[in-house]
Amino acid sequence: MGASSGGSIYGDAEARRRRTLDAAAALLDEGGYSALTIRSVAKRAGTSTGLIYQYFSDKQDIFMALLDENIVESTRAVAALPRDRGLIALIAAIIDESARRWGRVGRMSQIWRDAEGAADTERQSLREVHHSGAQYDAAVLAAVTEAAAHEGRVLRDDAAVLPFLLSGMQGVAASIVQDWASHLDRDEFAQFSAAALARAITAPESSEPGSAAIDSAATRAAASRD
């Protein structure tokens, strides 16, 4: 078969790379980071280890490519969220999106760090992850700023606002995925958390809506336990 048959997985470089990443993602789903080896990826992808090495230097590069993809997709998702439904609704939507994506790659990040130690900062794949992460952070900041402004609210003038918000949302997403609050309704928990975060990151004179939402969410959560 000639080179013109670009539809072949062996004749299309991007398709081969995609197949490799899909195989790696399936292995992560099934066995976690320890299941991810060049040999296992090649076997799952139906190709050779030599072909895998044409695109990735080792399994760390494969993992970081998957992580980068998730960050890029999350950035697009955040950018597409409506701002006119309010700050709490926006934060709750980001938490939901984070929980959806956390299951595959996010929860493996700590395992990867523990297993591999400090990554080589000269790695191109790591630089790409850092770049994509900065774009995600900027997208979140723009989204919450616009959603708050739509309600006549402003964010606190403090450098800690964004790191606090990001860590808070990621923590809630992890709790949902790991089912650490199984006695609570998932949506109620996300709404309560979103309201608390909204109140924390907005200037005091503009945070009353978040306070009211927290009280309302707390009341509903208490009622659900009765």
What burial class does residue 205 get, using C-beta atoms within 10 Å of its C-beta: 0-12 exposed, 13-18 middle, 19+ buried?
exposed
105-120 pLDDT tens trace: 666 666 666 656 555 6
Predicted TM-score (pTM) above 0.85: no
What's the average model confidence in pLDDT over 181-209? 86
Calculate what percentage of the chain has a pLDDT beyond 90.
54
pLDDT of residue 3: 44
- Paired strand residues for 202: 155
List, in order of start, the domains of the chain with CATH numbers: 1-56 (1.10.10.60), 59-225 (1.10.357)
Listed range (35-44, 86-95, 150-159, 181-190) with the worst mean pLDDT: 181-190
206 falls in which pLDDT band (50, 70, 90)? low
143 falls in which pLDDT band (50, 70, 90)? very high
77-150-146 Cα angle (round to 5): 45
pLDDT of residue 111: 63
39 falls in which pLDDT band (50, 70, 90)? very high
CA distances from 173 to 10, 65, 102, 156 (A): 38, 22, 7, 23
What is the chain's mean pLDDT, rounded?
83
209 half-sphere exposure, CB direction, 13 A CA radius = 20
Listed range (25-29, 53-57, 122-126, 157-161) with the worst mean pLDDT: 122-126
pLDDT of residue 5: 44
Q: Please, what sign has the CA dihedral across residues 23, 24, 29, 31?
A: positive
